[in-house]
Amino acid sequence: MDSKWFLLVEREPKKGSYNMAVDDYLFQSLGSEPETFVRFYSWENPTVSLGYSQDINKVLNEEFCWENNIEVVRRITGGKLVLHHKEVTYSICSTDKKAFSSSLSQSYKIISKALIKGLKKLNIPAYLADEDNPSYSRSSLPCFSYPARNEIKVKGQKIVGSAQKRVGSKFIQHGSIPLERDDQLLQSVSLLKEKKEKIRMIAVSQAAKKKISYKLLVKYLISGIQDFFNIKLEPVEFTRKQNNFIRKIQKKRHENKDWIYRKRIPHPIFSNSVDKPTLKEK
């Protein structure tokens, strides 16, 4: 059976807990047939996302976040702290082993190559990182402190930070692609000032040497993904029933302090069964 590829693009910035709930829903709703969802979104306010297993007390300046109305969410994927602000965020959910392989590391590399193809359409000289930093992997530093193997760099600096979750044949990978830098805010939320560590990142507008908008970057990333995989993404939108599911996940999980503070809770929607309403075409 041929794989189906669907495209979801958020036209307006969304609340952090909603963004996480949508990715959660897409991952949980994947069936056994090969299909792929590609989604792009942004954040209505600066938001910190924590990796699934991170200890909030070791990585986050919680007092600063509450005082400055910075939302804090926890991802279903692993990885390190990310400040989402002035960026494009992508997510890819799939059960297509033919396109992505069944390996976490290999699918990570494949997705990076597809994103690089899109970045190069903006004349950004992006390439794969070929090294790992073991001390960084074990540290509590934020995502954009160092590039990891098969992440994307420009001029030695990280331009995309990604994380993946895989269960059986299905996976989700999502990542942050900064349009502009805000080093001071990242240092403030992530305790970097205390650690006296550098930020080794470059934003898209820096790399392109001109201001790049959310809409423009999404356009070229879509084009790069379609070219790389030789597919056509079919634009779709959620039905009313799906939106109701997503809002329940948002309220009961991603706005739940037990979840944010790393207390394991049953999934509010998919604990017993998966109800997957049909997407409607745009």
Cβ-based neighbour number of residue 278 at 10 Å: 9
Point out the least confidently predicted range of 118-127, 134-143, 232-241. 134-143
pLDDT score for 269: 57
> Residue 241 and residue 30: Cα distance in Å, rounded?
16
- Greater confidence, 181 or 281? 181
Most confident region among 25-39, 120-134, 143-157 by mean pLDDT: 25-39
With tokens 């699934």, the residue in question is 52
Q: Name the helix (H) or strand (E) containing 47.
A: strand 47-50
Arithmetic mean of pLDDT, 133-162: 72
Note whether 39 and 14 are within 8 A (CB): no
Taken in order 174, 107, 204, 196, is the CA torsion positive or negative? Answer: positive
Q: What is the mean pLDDT of the chain?
A: 88
> Residue 34 and residue 102: Cα distance in Å, rounded?
12
Taken in order 174, 179, 183, 186, is the CA torsion positive or negative? Answer: negative
Q: Is 132 exposed, middle or buried (0-12, 13-18, 19+ CB in 10 A)?
A: middle
pLDDT digits (tens, 9 = 90+) for 192-247: 665 556 778 899 999 999 999 999 999 999 999 999 999 999 999 999 999 999 99
The answer on pLDDT for 66 being more than 70 is: yes
User: Which domains are assigned to the chain?
Assistant: 4-281 (3.30.930.10)
pLDDT score for 18: 98
The answer on pLDDT for 142 being more than 60 is: no
> Residue 29 and residue 10: Cα distance in Å, rounded?
19
Please choose, from the candidates 144, 138, 115, 129, the residue with its C-alpha nearest in 3D space to the C-alpha of residue 48: 144
pLDDT digits (tens, 9 = 90+) for 72-122: 999 999 988 999 999 999 999 999 999 998 888 899 999 999 999 999 999
The catalytic residue positions are 143
* pTM tops 0.75, yes or no: yes
